[in-house]
């Protein structure tokens, strides 16, 4: 899978869809390069554990949009 983009109605890129391995690499690189708080590191560790144990929940863009911008 290659990088794909989500665009708005004006054709502007609003999000990127990347392969999970690239996402994980970015998370780990972020972890290594920044001076992070212990709370942030704990949150990232929990997220990675949930993802590796198939306990992570994913929602669609529409679900998020409807929650923050109800009709």
Give me the residue spans of the domains in the chain: 19-68
Strand partners, 6: 15
Token pair 């198939």: residue = 54
Cβ neighbours of residue 4 closer than 8 Å, sequence gap 6 or more: 16, 17
SS3 assignment, position 6: strand
* Region 19-24 average pLDDT: 86
Of residues 41 and 14, more confidence is placed in 14
Closest to 47 (Cα-Cα) out of 63, 36, 58, 62: 58
Confidence of residue 9 (pLDDT cuts 50, 70, 90): very high
* Region 62-69 average pLDDT: 82
Strand partners, 16: 5
Lowest mean pLDDT among 10-14, 15-19, 64-68: 64-68
């Amino acid at each position: 899978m290659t990088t794909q983009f989500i665009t708005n109605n004006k054709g502007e890129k609003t999000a990127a869809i990347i392969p999970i391995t690239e996402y994980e690499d970015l998370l780990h690189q972020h972890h290594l390069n920044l001076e992070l708080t212990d709370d942030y590191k704990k949150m990232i560790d929990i997220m990675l554990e949930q993802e590796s144990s198939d306990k992570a929940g994913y929602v669609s863009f529409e679900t998020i949009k409807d929650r923050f911008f109800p009709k």
